[in-house]
Amino acid sequence: MGYRDGVKTQLSDVMEHLTPYTPGEQPKDGAKVVKLNTNENPYPPSPRVLEAIKAAANASLRLYPHPDAGPLRAAAAQHFGVTEEQVFWGNGSDEVLAFAFLALFQKSQPLLFPDITYSFYPVYAKLFGIPVQQVPLAADFSIDLSQYAQDAGGVVFANPNAPTSLSAPAEAIEAFASQRPATPVVVDEAYMGFGAASALPLVEKYPNVLVVRTLSKSHSLAGLRVGMALGHPRLIDALQRVKHSFNSYAVDRLAIAGAMAALADSEYYDHISQQIVATRDKTTQALRALGFIVLDSSANFVFAKPAGISAKELFEALRARGILVRYFDKPRIDEYLRITMGTAEEMQGFVDAVGAIVSSGG
Amino acid sequence: MGYRDGVKTQLSDVMEHLTPYTPGEQPKDGAKVVKLNTNENPYPPSPRVLEAIKAAANASLRLYPHPDAGPLRAAAAQHFGVTEEQVFWGNGSDEVLAFAFLALFQKSQPLLFPDITYSFYPVYAKLFGIPVQQVPLAADFSIDLSQYAQDAGGVVFANPNAPTSLSAPAEAIEAFASQRPATPVVVDEAYMGFGAASALPLVEKYPNVLVVRTLSKSHSLAGLRVGMALGHPRLIDALQRVKHSFNSYAVDRLAIAGAMAALADSEYYDHISQQIVATRDKTTQALRALGFIVLDSSANFVFAKPAGISAKELFEALRARGILVRYFDKPRIDEYLRITMGTAEEMQGFVDAVGAIVSSGG
């Protein structure tokens, strides 16, 4: 580079107050690790999804995709039993959440979310200048919505929550949403599909509820980038307007084709979800047998406090054996590990490794 | 929908001052129209791109993509002769531009751009609350950078410009960038590859120049959503930090695979670009022979003022014959049509249709 020294180019004032998100570690493709650190699905996407993508890899890629994901929007409406005007698609649920933050949450009142939850929420808030008030989880790590009674520009939480894996009862969410109709309530269901009750039925009754979903986890498509929101047409219209002020063609033609095939193959996805739930329950029992505290997971991961070894030590000992899990060096949760469910075989290997590490004293 | 009447859910204050972008009309796939309205490439992507995508449609889609597009970033650095730290990839150049607006342009000083240019610039500015000052094009529709001397938080223009098709000389851009090193200068090269001189050599010398590119037009991949920025590592780092505050995994695995194959097949793309340039020059001559004013295009479209019929009437008469072009109902350009270059055959059909319409008096 041949730059000369000189005047520094000015950047936006926005740059002064960013704290970017830190994605989980991504080893190179083909690296020999057991990857239990970013909550991906251990099973491949449906073969029909791969076929649909291959069929869509044709000359039509020269053309823009439908700006509102066209046929995928219609397919989702049918799949979820709503109208197209209640459906929004984006480039992964991270983008959908970003649009929701921009479109729904005010700058004049604080946004409420749990102190322990998806760590992207405070990042969006900083980017967009939205004031936040974090509400502590209860001592058992559950979300107690009675603690969200103050004036607010909006509420967002993950259900099931991450990294705790716990889900909130649908009745509690409904009671909360019905009590404050003026406040947008965003329920981030990234980890839906593994046993938790969805807030989806609420979007038909409460015009303030927005449910955000992704195909990354339940549909094994983290690499394709497709996420969605379901809600009242007025909320969806707000998302659409923000999207058309940012990036009109967010969902590409291959993602549209793949996502449509994914929604259509419930049989395959129900099957792999059941496998993951079975593996989760078996892993939970095995860790509890080692004396670990393991929360009751409704997600495709477990949140566990080791016994006889610190979380950080276990994290590092597993890493040395080529097993990646997630450790958060944060108050309240730094004694826990978040462990993504791999295949039954991978989790047997994980449990064996944990047993060996613990019995050798680290 | 079973919504009861009641309190309206509050939306963000951002919603009050949006004017979303209006994408060009997208007929349904398979509709029998000649589509010369959204500046897509008439030729399919390279067969190697389609093969690379099919090969990437595999089990690894269950995994997140590399958050910074990994191997694609390295491939672009090699292709353009820069370092990886000078390369940023996003979900189409629209997203790259959105990140650039957020990361580079201040709210305390106006952003300067031409009064006639890509209509997404004022849309981003409204979304992010960036004040703007539009600078009129010269009477011949060229960008006169001597008119951009005032204090500014940034400058953005398209080169070649749209919808005018005219390009600015590289020397003029260099002189301008060197005169105001503190000001970010974003050169949107969406239509590069059809004869204009790129500002790419400037990013090695001037730390305030950001060049934005897309594979949508020159590489026939509008349906895949891949765009990029090239610039000083400090500007690129700012884009990265904003991206990681918005959507970490913007470029999906199929897009990474397809874009890498596209960069590698210069032979194919040089060939189709030459065809488009030849068709453009022939179309220009034919329209001029009908008495039309046609600007000297450096892009994959022409900007033409009809003779013997108004632009709007010709637009509608073409539409009635199944030929879509773009008409802008805006001061200064409402006597012109923007016509995307189709294949040689399509443009012969277009010229014939125009001739028939004009000779029949509309």
A254-305 pLDDT, tens digit each: 999 999 999 999 999 999 999 999 999 999 999 999 999 999 999 999 999 9
CB A324 within 8 A of CB B63: no
Burial of B211 (0-12, 13-18, 19+ CB in 10 A): buried
- How far apart, in Å, are the Cα atoms of A102 and each of A180, A198, A238, B114? 20, 24, 9, 27
Question: Tokens standing for B153?
Answer: 């938080």
Q: How far apart are CA A269 and CA A262, in angstroms?
A: 8
Residue found by looking up tokens 């613990």 in the block: A358
Kind of pairing between the strands at B293-294 and B301-305: antiparallel
ipTM of the complex model: 0.96
- DSSP string across A258-274: HHHHHHH-HHHHHHHHH
In this predicted structure, what is the pLDDT of residue B26?
A: 74
Q: CA-CA distance, B292 to B214, in Å (whole number)?
A: 31
Task: In whole angstroms, give the CA distance from residue A14 to residue B249.
Answer: 21
Amino acid at A195: G
Strands (E), B74-153: 87-90, 111-114, 132-135
Strands B185-188 and B209-214: parallel
pLDDT for residue B192:
98
DSSP secondary structure string for all residues of A235-258 = HHHHHHHHHTTT-TT-S-HHHHHH
DSSP state of B55: H
> What is the pLDDT at residue B66?
94
A266 token code pair: 């419930």
CA distance B231 to chain A (A): 11
Cβ pair B44:A59 closer than 8 A: yes
Q: Please tell me the predicted confidence (pLDDT) of residue B6.
A: 76
Instruction: Look at residues B257, B212, B281 and name the one whose alpha carbon lies nearest to residue B45.
Output: B257
Nearest CA in chain B to A84: B1
The confidence score (pLDDT) of residue A115 equals 96
Contact B242 A21 (CB under 8 A): no
Query: At how many degrees (to 10) do helices A47-56 and B47-56 cross?
Result: 170
Amino acid in position B118? Y
Contact: A98, B44; criterion CB under 8 Å:
no
Q: Strands B209-214, B227-231: parallel, antiparallel or unpaired by DSSP?
A: antiparallel
In this predicted structure, what is the pLDDT of residue A249? 95
Show Cβ contacts of residue B171 under 8 Å, excluding neighbours closer than 6 positions: none
The answer to whether the Cβ–Cβ distance between B183 and A222 falls below 8 Å is: no
Could you give the angle at which helices B266-289 and B344-359 cross, rounded to 10 degrees?
A: 10
- Kindly state the DSSP code that residue A28 receives in the 8-state scheme: P
The residue of chain A with its CA nearest to that of B22 is A244
CA separation, residue A158 to residues A211, A298, A328, B302 (Å): 10, 12, 17, 50
Tokens of B35: 């589509």
Q: What is the pLDDT of residue B1?
A: 57
Task: Specify the pLDDT at position B5.
Answer: 63
Contact residues on chain B for A241, CB-CB shorter than 8 A: 15, 18, 20
Angular region, B154: left φ>0, alpha ψ -120 to 50, beta rest: left
Low-confidence ranges of chain A (pLDDT < 70): 1-2, 4-5, 29-30, 362
Nearest Cα to Cα of residue B165 among B108, B97, B217: B217
Taking the C-alpha atoms of residue A57 and residue B193, their distance in angstroms, rounded to an integer, is 23
From the CA of A42, how many Å to the nearest CA of chain B?
7
Local confidence pLDDT in tens for the 362 residues of chain B = 567 667 889 999 888 889 899 887 777 766 789 999 999 999 999 999 999 999 999 999 999 999 999 999 999 999 999 999 999 999 999 999 999 999 999 999 999 999 999 999 999 999 999 999 999 999 999 999 999 999 999 999 999 999 999 999 999 999 999 999 999 999 999 999 999 999 999 999 999 999 999 999 999 999 999 999 999 999 999 999 999 999 999 999 999 999 999 999 999 999 999 999 999 999 999 999 999 999 999 999 999 999 999 999 999 999 999 999 999 999 899 999 999 999 999 999 999 999 999 998 75
* Tokens read off for B267: 């032979």
Cβ contacts from A onto B, under 8 A: 337
Structure tokens at B314: 């010709």
Among B246, B268, B341, the strongest candidate for a mutation testing the A interface, having the largest count of A CBs within 10 A, is B246
